[in-house]
Structure 1
Amino acid sequence: MMPQRSMVATLDEGKVDAIFAPVDQGRQPGVAVAIAIDGKPVYRKGFGLAHMELPVVLSPSMRMRIGSTTKHFTALAYMLLCEEGRAGIDDPVGAHVPGLHAASRDATMRQLMGHVSGLRDVMAITLLLQGPSTPATDAELIDFYRTIDDRDFAPGTSWSYNNGGYMLLTAAIENITGQSLDDVLRERIFEPVGMYDTLLRRWDTDFVPNSATLHFRRADGRFTRDYMGMEVSGAGGIVSTMDDMLRWMKHMDAPIVGSAGSWQLMREPMRLANGISTGYGLGLITMPYRGVETLSHGGGVLAGNSQMIKVPAAGLDITIASNRADVSAADLANRVIDACVEGLDPVPEGKAVERRTGIFVSAANGRVVELSETGEMQLVAIDGGPPVPMRADDQGVLQLPDILLFCQQSVTFEDEGLGFMEFGHRHRLDPLDVVEGGRLGSRCGRYGSSIADTGLQIADEEGGPTMTMWGPQGSARYRLEPLADRIWKAISLGPIGAIGAILTFSEGGDRLSVTAGRMQALRFERTAGADA
């Protein structure tokens, strides 16, 4: 049944055109967009090139990667098996994916789909160890779960976005059905809904007809063909057209695929042990935007991104995909909501706070937060990740941009230190006296991990300290910068400079841990007989 409207959505084509004016050109890649009100398409346009080597403009009928928007399709495929009695939502993953280590096999399918399992994210580990361009299959990544002997956190106590969990979900669906996920999605979901241009594209190197090309933008402004090397399946492998996505979003209002109970579970945000709502159900995000509830899931890939967002109270559906890495589909979608929906809450002005710079560390868990500024923006980098602009709310608390609010991370200035809040968990961080020109000395050498066939090498080279990490399929190199005597920052020397990490050495130097964004304290120990 179509949800009853309580707000008014209208389309002013000129206002929406103005939103996309910066990408309305014929020299570079751009975006495709489709908008519907009460299930009826009212705006369908493409801006920019589908491929920089061909004079072909993007179109809403062209296949584009939708990235992690894939996740709720994969979750629905599993829920269909639950409806048939072939699986249970609280089954342990080990019941459907054999051979996993005890640290991973008892996580439930519900926890995987809701990102509360606490399992290590093997995609994040692979990106760190081997870089984004190294070919690796789903099966090879899942093999990590056979030797990983710890978790990021106890199940249900926190939330951490986990692509590896959806790889396990994919393997479970395939083991239960005896079919590929490609066929399950096509036969059980896409064809019944009439999404005939939508399919699972596991490899960026595959040729798929009527597809836009992805364009990565490097720091010097050049567009390049830096694609994801690994296989991507149920975590983010779908390609679709914006026309097909409108069909799907209309279907979500009155589903013919999936029971009412399954859809309720998918939409309903999970709650942690501390009572905090994650805002995330089973592959779908429920969050307010300017006072109105939205249902969404975006998708980021190495050289593009997408956003699918519904405003049920206004009957508004928006789907946008970008084939360039430097344009945010989620931000554009929010601006479309601004232009189309009447009666939204005013944009909060926030409280003016003095911007700060410095590096801060938590004595409790080793988390490192780096503050910097550019222009009028306060930038915050967490555990070696890329700097993100944060703005103070009316209480002076630094909040993430609207498109990242679902991560539920905030920062407050407390005397000389910081307060860091994440899903109801508060941490105190104290300022770090940064060491200039530090040397690694006796800490140089090889270190091994409990994860099979992985390790790292620390070296003091002529050009400065470096780290090389490796996994079964490849390796990645990093430049090291000292933050303190035992805390160092790793910066990728590959094409994707945003990949970074924090190294923390033990007092004796025989052990170290690597933290990278959501991946907490991956342990390494000096290899016996390693040269210093």
Structure 2
Amino acid sequence: MRLRMRKSVWHVLLFLLAMGSPAFVGQPEDRQGREVQSARVDELFAPWDRPDSPGCAVGVIKDGRFIYKRGYGMANLEHHIPISPTTVFRIGSTSKQFTAATVVLLAQRGKLSLDDDIRKYLPEMPDYGTPITIRHLIHHTSGIRDYLTLMDLAGMRPDDFYTDEEVLDLLARQRELNFKPGDDFLYSNSGYFLLSLIVKRATGKSLRELARELIFEPLGMNHTHFHDDHTMIVENRASGYAPKEGGGFKISMTTLDMVGDGGLFTSVEDLFRWDQNFYHPRVGGRALIDQLLTPGTLNDGKTLDYAFGLRLGEYKGLRMISHGGAFVGFRAEMIRFPEQRFSVICLCNLSTINPSRLARQVADIFLADQMRPEAKAAGAGERPSVRLSERELSAMTGAFYDPETGAVWQISTAEGMLIAKVGRRRFRLMPITRWRFRAMNAPVHIEVSFEERSGAAPSRLRVHVEGRRPVVLERVRLVSPTPDALRKYVGTYFSEELQVGYNVVLKDGRLYLRHENKYKHSPRDPLQPTLADWFTVSGLHLHFLRDERGNITAFTMNADRVKHLRFVRRPRVNVRTER
């Protein structure tokens, strides 16, 4: 017992030694102000600043140097290793800017062109009538369906293993795109995964090898690499975690070796070197930086806010360049305010942490005197700025349908507030004006406004989710099919593109969607009828199709980054009813 207590005390001492000496730099006259700011940053990360919790590494950069950097929480709970600014994290989609940079550097060297048809390097991909270019992949305007979503629909779990070849084969089977190349923007991991394959076929070297040769070694990023071998030992790496039901944490890692769309391992210290290359470009010269910051454009001439693996935007009146990342138990964000020469890096190893929000809150602390006041994000304790009567609120209740995806927002009232229900998620809507509302406690910033108000009841709902283009939903009346009507949907449906079948079964008067392989995961909740022949469950939207005689022959599925995926009904053997 005494030995166990001694070890426990030793682990806490190690934690305090690693975490208790934050690094901040400044002249004597501004040191006191920096200490106040640093203490406020510590408050933000206090919930994870414990020897029994995963957490984050944070770096704050101003004028070419760190003004604050620190670790909070543990890199490894099993071996009691604290997080520090040198801890190596998987950074998810924050990796995309390095993939884009590698492609641009190859274009500078004449190894490829950004306007090459991808089939020049990937002849396995279908000819969709309009060429898909490397530039389309970079700007998420290709229309290619997202492979992670497709694998999920195929029943694969995050901890299942599959190879690059299997992903390429899956993408090559897709008969349709989400949209014509260049017509729209829809974030798709497939594009950046395919870029990694194009790099290899154009040069004979892997993305890992080329990024190291062209970027990481020249910049001295000695602890950064594309992790294309899950068996590789990585010194000083953090483990990924997720909350465990009932309390505590569980390991959340992956064996997947795909890179390009993600897969970069790096540290706060190394990302500082990348950040500085935007001001003093040792790699690629000013031409690389200018290219990376060039936004994409659509066929209609509209300019996107997405450049080369980077989002271009504004935060509280200041120009901001950023990109977040999330995969298994890791979360990341890197934001840069170029005019202020100020950046925040936040790398975390717990799936429930929101580094994008935290990084902006850190920026709020250090750049407060330069930022434009902005309406606060709606939180649990915030009060409405406008008071609406029950009658006014009731006029806005009802169901609103997204014609692009089939999603339905159901608006109701409770305790003097509007409530929005979207699938399994529920948000309280706080009024900003008579017809405009903000979602409270949503994971991202969401604003909704009611439009086309003929009389008291609006017929349209405009929804703007942070990072996406606004969509307009139409008011509809939801249907309630009888049990006999529901029975007509029962059957087995097969997707040639996924090579997977789903059973639609009837249980206790409700329809359920079941993977034909009972060992694969399926939605737990029943299918919810919305419009005629439309159902929704767990973010999936199914539209059943009928022939000229009214018989159901197929359904198409929309699932966020996958649209119009077709499942054809197999000949009916018997009606399936679960008991």
The answer for the alignment partner of 2:552 in structure 1 is 509
Q: Which of 317, 330, 339 does residue 291 from structure 1 map onto?
A: 317
What is the CA distance between 1:163 and its match in structure 2? 0.2
Alpha-carbon spacing, 1:393–1:307, altered in 2? closer, same or farther (3 Å): farther
CA contact (8 A) 1:204 1:227 kept: no
Is residue 411 of structure 1 aligned with residue 448 of structure 2?
yes
What is the CA distance between 1:404 and its match in structure 2? 5.0
Is residue 489 of structure 1 aligned with residue 555 of structure 2?
no
Q: Which of 469, 472, 481 does residue 427 from structure 1 map onto?
A: 472
SS in 2 for 1:520: coil
Residues of 1 paired with 2:93 and 2:280: CA distance? 23
What is the CA distance between 1:56 and its match in structure 2? 1.6
Is residue 196 of structure 1 aligned with residue 239 of structure 2?
no
Unaligned 5+ runs, structure 1? 1-7, 492-499
Larger radius of gyration: 2
Give the partner amino acid of 1:223.
Answer: F
SS in 2 for 1:476: coil
1:72-91 map, 5 Å: 72-91=97-116
Residues of 1 paired with 2:470 and 2:73: CA distance? 43
Residues of 2 paired with 1:205 and 1:387: CA distance? 41
Residues of 2 paired with 1:146 and 1:47: CA distance? 44
Is residue 51 of structure 1 aligned with residue 88 of structure 2?
no
CA contact (8 A) 2:400 2:473 kept: no
The answer for the alignment partner of 1:3 in structure 2 is none
Residues of 2 paired with 1:300 and 1:374: CA distance? 34
Q: Which of 268, 272, 278 does residue 242 from structure 1 map onto?
A: 268
The answer for the alignment partner of 1:496 in structure 2 is none
Is residue 361 of structure 1 aligned with residue 401 of structure 2?
yes
Residues of 1 paired with 2:283 and 2:569: CA distance? 53
What is the CA distance between 1:394 and its match in structure 2? 6.2
Give the partner amino acid of 1:413.
Answer: F
Is residue 446 of structure 1 aligned with residue 497 of structure 2?
no
Give the partner amino acid of 1:490.
Answer: V
The answer for the alignment partner of 1:324 in structure 2 is 350
What is the CA distance between 1:253 and its match in structure 2? 1.5
What is the CA distance between 1:38 and its match in structure 2? 0.7
What is the CA distance between 1:433 and its match in structure 2? 2.5
SS in 2 for 1:477: coil
CA contact (8 A) 1:362 1:430 kept: no
SS in 1 for 2:209: helix
Percent identity over paired residues? 26
The answer for the alignment partner of 1:345 in structure 2 is 372
CA contact (8 A) 1:446 1:530 kept: no
Alpha-carbon spacing, 1:199–1:27, altered in 2? closer, same or farther (3 Å): same
Q: Deviations for 1:438-492, whole angstroms, at most 9, x for unmatched residues?
A: 6841322221223152332222246964323479xx833113232335332333x
Residues of 2 paired with 1:315 and 1:525: CA distance? 55
Q: Structure 2-normalised TM-score?
A: 0.80
Alpha-carbon spacing, 1:351–1:157, altered in 2? closer, same or farther (3 Å): farther
SS in 1 for 2:141: coil
The answer for the alignment partner of 1:310 in structure 2 is 336
The answer for the alignment partner of 2:359 in structure 1 is 333
Residues of 2 paired with 1:437 and 1:58: CA distance? 57
CA contact (8 A) 1:217 1:303 kept: no
SS in 2 for 1:102: coil
Q: Deviations for 1:407-453, whole angstroms, at most 9, x for unmatched residues?
A: xx853223354333677675332244264996841322221223152
Residues of 1 paired with 2:120 and 2:326: CA distance? 30
Unaligned 5+ runs, structure 2? 1-29, 377-383, 452-456
What is the CA distance between 1:315 and its match in structure 2? 1.3
The answer for the alignment partner of 1:494 in structure 2 is none
Residues of 2 paired with 1:403 and 1:289: CA distance? 17
Give the partner amino acid of 1:369.
Answer: W
Residues of 1 paired with 2:232 and 2:413: CA distance? 41
Residues of 1 paired with 2:541 and 2:318: CA distance? 38
Higher relative CO (Cα under 8 Å, sequence separation at least 6) belongs to 1
Residues of 1 paired with 2:434 and 2:280: CA distance? 41
What RMSD in Å do the two structures reach over aligned CA positions?
Answer: 3.3
What is the CA distance between 1:193 and its match in structure 2? 0.6
What is the CA distance between 1:294 and its match in structure 2? 0.6
Comparing 335-344 with 395-404, which one deviates more in the overlay? 395-404
SS in 2 for 1:510: strand
Give the partner amino acid of 2:153.
Answer: L
